[in-house]
Chains A and B, each alone.
Chain A
Amino acid sequence: MKIKISRHYLYISLLSIFLFLFVLVFSFGILIPKGKDYRTARLELKKENLELQKYQNFHDNMLKTLKNLQSKNRHIISAFHTTFYPARFEKQHKALFSSLKISKVSRAKDDEGFATYEVNTTSQISSPKNFYNFLDALNKSDWIIGVNFPIDFKRDGEMIKSSFTMQVYANNKDKNSTASGSVAK
């Protein structure tokens, strides 16, 4: 038995087979692997986005903590930053003493990474209460100042002559790069 197919149909069949093979090869050879890659890349990007979100949240929390710390310790931060001027100190605390004299400012050994300056002070007070008020005022002053031993109180008629050393703390220019330093003059 002989099957008779017209030439026209034969061409159409051959073309269809060729195109069908092309579709198959393109789909399985290129499109499906590319699709798999796309899914993997999408998952990876999702993961990286989550990671970025975590970093962003951590960053925001840290910024909040920093702002909070800065606002709560504004006085301390500015006090460490402020340059110590003996004349300004005398002017601010003169009212608590009958006389107040800051004689010498010298650089001392760094304390916990902060620059320290020693200041010799001589003063006259009418009662020890003035000295207590001075110590209270020191904690609210424009600088971080600690009174050091030895402290000498000497009776001078109706007055008390006192002499002591104060230690002024400031940001260290060399070591604390995050904050600009201040130098006593």
Chain B
Amino acid sequence: MKYSFIKPKRKTPITPEVQIVFTFFFITLIMLFLTYAFLLYKDYTFAKDKTNISSQTQHLQVNIKKMQAQIDFIQKQKALSEKVFTKNMVLKDSISNLFDLVPQRITLSRAQLLKNGLILYGITPNKDVYSFMLQAPLRSIFHTSYTSFYPAKNGWLMFVSTNYMDKSQNEELDIEN
């Protein structure tokens, strides 16, 4: 015999309300934890990147220092070599000028080029030729000029001309070089 017209329902603690509440909080908590995990992961990658950057910076700094030293050294080599090359060229011009200075009528037997002077040994037909054609240009270049003559076998005069520059001018020339 039936006492009710409806079928009895089994009672469960998970009611639709509980389901809604749980679903809402589940989604919320999942989002929060995922965000937190993302932040933790980013913290780790930032720390790793920072270490990488600092080691790269250090490596670059060392390389830059090395290269700077190499550049300085090459520039030093370049400066010194240019100084030497210029000195050689100046020397070439000086010798060329010296030989151009000697007139046809005077014959040189020896020429000593010193750092601050010039000693010439040679033979001249007479003193006047020497004075006008060689001594005059030598005096215009050098500050001190001495000449001594002694007779040669053929009647000409042998001479030794000693010419010196002032120390200060010599230093100036050195600086220019």
Contact = CB atoms under 8 A, between A and B. Distances in A.
Do these two chains really belong together in a complex?
A: yes
Interface of A: 8-9, 12, 15-16, 19, 22-23, 26-27, 30-31, 34-35, 37-38, 41-42, 44-45, 48-49, 51-52, 55-56, 58-59, 62-63, 65-66, 69-70, 73, 76-77, 79-80, 111-114, 128, 131-132, 135-136, 138-139, 144-147, 149-155, 167, 169, 176, 178-179
B109 interface: yes
Contacts of B114: 149-150
A12 to B, nearest CB: 6
Contacts, number: 162
B88 interface: yes
Which applies to chain B's interface (DSSP): helix, strand, loop or mixed?
Answer: helix
A34 B39 contact: yes
Query: Which of B75, B81, B114 gathers the greatest number of chain A CB atoms within 10 Å?
Result: B81
Contact of A76 (B69, B78, B108): B78
Given A63-B67, A178-B73, 10 more contacts: A12-B17, A19-B21, A23-B29, A31-B32, A42-B42, A66-B71, A70-B74, A80-B81, A155-B108, A178-B69
Nearest to A41: B46
Contact of A150 (B49, B64, B66, B113): B113
Of the four ranges (under 10, 10 to 19, 20 to 34, 35 or more), the interface on chain B belongs to: 35 or more
A176 to B, nearest CB: 6
B78 A178 contact: no
Contact of A62 (B29, B53, B64, B111): B64
